[in-house]
A and B are shown apart, each in its own frame.
Chain A
Amino acid sequence: MISIKKLHKKYGKLEVLKSIDLNFEDSGIHTILGPNGSGKTTLMKAILGMVIPNDGSIEFNNKPILGEWEYRKDIAYLPQIAHFPQNLKVQELLNMLKDIRPGAVREAELISLFQIKPFLNKKLGNLSGGTAQKVNIIIALMFDSPLILMDEPTVGLDPISLIRLKKLILDEKSKGKLILITTHIISFVEEVSDRIVFILDGNIYFNGTIDTLKKQTNQKNLENAIANILEKTNV
C-alpha cells in the first residue's frame, strides 16, 4: 500500500530521516518505535504530504503522492498533540469536518464508545487533555479509511479508554486495514503489533516481527530487546 524509497528529510542542518526505504503491505498493525526526535512523526507527516521530502519518493497504491491530495481520502490521521481551534464546540468541529470531508460513518458509535456525549457542547479549549485526545481519536477514526496513521494514540487516556482503543484498533485490523502506530508504551506494542519498525537517528535499525527481534538480540522480553539495540548503537 505504501512504498517509501530513499526518503530524505532535513530541517535546516538537522537531518531527521536519512534515506529510508520502507514498505507497508495491505493490512496489519505496524508500530514505529524510536526515541524522541528519531523522525517517527516526520515519517508519518511525509506519508500525509504535510512534510515535503528533500529527496526520495513515497508511493501510495503505486502512485507517487508528491503534490497530490485525493489519496488522503483513504488515510485517517491521528496527530500526536490534539491542536484544535479553541473557541469551537466539539459538535461544531465534528460537523465542520463532516462537511469538508464526506464519509464519516462511525461518529455516533465512537461518541458513545468514548462517552463524549456530555462534552459535545463544550468548547474545545476547555477540554481536559484526555478528553481532547478522545475527540482527536473520534475525528481520525470516524472516517472509514483503509490506512490509519496514529501518532502516540495512548497519550493522556485513562485505563478504560486505553482498553477500548486497543479493541478498536484490533477491530480495524480485522477489517483488513493497514494501521501504523507510533508509541513509547512497550506493553501496548507487544499486545497489538504484527511488525515493528525501529527508527534511530533517521535510520531504520530493525524491521520485522517481535519474535525476530527477540531472537536477534537474545532477549526474552521486548523491553530488553529494544534496550539492547539502543546500547549497541551507543558503543
Chain B
Amino acid sequence: MFKILKYSFYDLMRSRWSYLYFIFYLLLGLILLFLNRDVSKAVITLLNIILVLTPLIGTLFGIIYFYNSKEFTELLLAQPIKRSHIFWGQYFGISLSLSLSLVLGLGIPFLAYGIFQSTEIFNFMTLLLIGAMLTFIFVALAFNLALIFDDKIKGFGVAILTWLSFAVIYDGIFLVLLLVFNDYPLDRFALGATLFNPIDLSRILILLKLDISALLGYTGAVFQNFFGTNLGIILTFTLLNLWIIIPVLAIKVISKHKDF
C-alpha cells in the first residue's frame, strides 16, 4: 500500500494543480494577515473559507484523480497487490498531498507573522486539523462515488451534488424545517441531523473551541447547551473521525465487488 501511496503522492506533487492549491492558500494567508492585523479575526475568516473550500477541492481532486488514473489502476489490478491497498494507497496519496498544500500554504504566512507568539496558536492548529480532516472525508466520499459510477459524467455530477448538499442545501433544508415546525421542540432532531453533516460538525467543533457563541448557529447552540463545551468538542471530534473511517472502509467493501 505504501508504494502505491508514494507514487500517487509524488504524482500529485508534480502536478501543477497541487501548486496552484498551495499558492492559493499562501496568498490567502498573506492577504488576510495584511488586511487584518488581528490574528483571531483572520482565523475566523479562514474558518469560513476552509469549511467550504476544502470539501469542494477534496471532492473534485478525488473524483478527477480516480477517473484519470483508471488505466494505471487496471494495470495494478493485474499485479500481486491487494485490491483494497491499491485504492487506499491512492486515497491516502491524494488526501495527504492536498492536506500538505493546505497546511504549508496557510502555515507559512502565519508562521512568518509570529503565530507561535500569539495565543491563537491552538485555534489555528485546530483549524488546520479540521481542514485536513474535511479533505480526508471528502476525498473518501469522492472515491466511493467514483467506484460506484463508471460513467464519468454521472460520477462527477453526483460528487458535486454531494458537496453542494453538505455545504449549502443542508443548511437551507434545515432552516425551512425550523420555520415549518416552529411550534415543536426540535433540539433532539437538530442534534441528530448535525451528525450527518461533516461540515456542520467541523464548524461546531471549531466554534466551540474558539468560544464564539454568536457564530454557533442553531445546531451549534443546541450542541453547546446539550453537551457543554468540552464534551461537545470531544464528541464532534470523534464523529469527524467516524466520518473518515466509515467511507475509507466503504472503499474496501465497494471495490471488492467491482468488475474492472
Contacts and interface: CB of A to CB of B under 8 A. Distances in A.
Interface of A: 11, 45, 48-52, 67, 69-73, 75, 77, 79, 83-86, 96-97, 99-101, 139
**A-B interface, 6 closest residue pairs, ranked by CB to CB distance from nearest:** A83-B71, A73-B80, A72-B80, A77-B78, A51-B259, A50-B260
B81 interface: yes
Contacts of A99: 3
A77 B77 CA distance: 10
Contacts of A101: 79-81
Interface string B48-81: 0000000000000000000001111011111111
Nearest to A149: B78
A172 to B, nearest CB: 17
8 contacts: A75-B78, A83-B74, A84-B71, A84-B72, A84-B75, A85-B69, A85-B72, A101-B79
B37 interface: no
Nearest to A76: B78
Nearest to B3: A100
B75 A83 contact: yes
A51 B260 CA distance: 6
Interface class of chain B by DSSP: helix
B85 to A, nearest CB: 9
Given A83-B74, A85-B69, A100-B3, A70 B80 contact: yes
Contact of A50 (B69, B77, B80): B77
Contacts of B74: 50, 79, 83
A84 B73 CA distance: 9
B80 A69 contact: yes
Nearest to A42: B259
A139 B4 CA distance: 17
A18 to B, nearest CB: 17
Contacts of B257: 52
B3 A72 contact: no
A69 B82 contact: yes
A48 B71 contact: no
Contacts of B209: none
Contacts of B196: none
Interface in B77-99: 77-83
B256 interface: yes
Contacts of B256: 52, 67
Given A50-B259, A51-B260, A72 B71 contact: no
B178 to A, nearest CB: 43
B71 A100 contact: no
Contacts of A51: 259-260
Centre residue among A45, A69, A84, A99 by max chain B CB count within 10 A: A69
A51 B80 CA distance: 15
A83 B77 CA distance: 13
Given A45-B260, A51-B259, 19 more contacts: A50-B77, A51-B260, A52-B256, A52-B257, A67-B256, A69-B82, A69-B83, A72-B81, A75-B78, A79-B78, A83-B70, A83-B71, A83-B75, A84-B71, A96-B7, A97-B79, A99-B3, A100-B3, A100-B79
Nearest to A102: B80
B257 to A, nearest CB: 6
A138 to B, nearest CB: 13
A73 B83 CA distance: 14
B45 to A, nearest CB: 37
Contacts of B3: 99-100
- B7, B80, B258, B260 pick with most chain A CB within 10 angstroms: B80
A42 B80 CA distance: 19
B81 A52 contact: no
Interface in B136-160: none
A99 B48 CA distance: 43
Contacts of B77: 48-50
Contacts of A11: 259
